[in-house]
Structure formats: structure tokens, C-alpha cells
Amino acid sequence: MPNPTTRWSDERIDQFIGRVLQIGVLLAGAIVAVAAVAYLVRYGAATPAYGAFHGEPANLRSVTGILQGALTMHPHALIQLGLLVLLLTPIARVVLLLGAFALQRDALYVGIAAIVLVVLIVSLAGLTP
């Protein structure tokens, strides 16, 4: 039976993680492009009101709200979903690297990757001062 660490060489892991990053960025770009077309179809003829700033509605400030809005194909929610996918792509890289280092039984790099992952999650969750 082959050893899992020999099956997944450093080069193969790097190629896999690189492919995940490419797919993540392309998927995010495709979602935003489709959403931009939908947005222009729906709101393209509207006159913008430059005198007042209106932030994103509360339902588009949470992952749950974004996903619910995207299921209804709302253009604003789809754009937010594309940005969320783009944001999650490097996080997926860190998670994959953590798994790869664990397979290789490299405790130092598992620790470093875990610290990086915690820092990313804490900063994205808005828990930093």
C-alpha cells in the first residue's frame, strides 16, 4: 500500500493548491461578471443620486443574507457573493496548506498555518480591536 506522503509530493500539492486558487478567482470573476450584466439590465437606466451615500442594506452584510439574496438572483447579492468567493479563496489555500503540512507531519508548518488561519478568521470576523 503506498504511503500517503509519497503519493502527494510537494510539487503535486503545489499544483493542486494553485489550481484551487485559479478556480476560485475565475469563479469569483464569473459570478461578478454575470451579476454585473444582471445589474445593468435591471438598474442600468436608473439615474444615480450622487448627493447621498447609501451603504449596503443590512441583509447584504452577512454571509447568510448574501446567500439568501443570491438564491433569489438579486444582482446586489450576486456581486457580494462573487466578492465573498474571492475573499474565501486565499483562506482555502491556508486550509489546504494546513492539511498538506499535516500529511507531511511537519509540526512547525502546521502550527504556522494554524496561526495564519486563526488570524485570518479573527480579522474577517471583525473581532480585532
Query: What pLDDT score was predicted for residue 129?
Result: 57
Residue type, 31: I
CA dist 66 to 29, 30, 70, 85, Å? 17, 17, 6, 11
pLDDT in tens, 51-92: 888 888 888 888 889 999 999 999 999 999 999 999 999 999
Degrees, nearest 5: CA angle 56-122-57: 10
129: CB partners within 8 A, 6+ apart: none
80: CB partners within 8 A, 6+ apart: 56, 60, 66, 69, 70
Residue type, 86: L
Per-residue pLDDT band for 6 (boundaries 50, 70, 90) equals low
Indicate whether 16 pLDDT > 50: yes
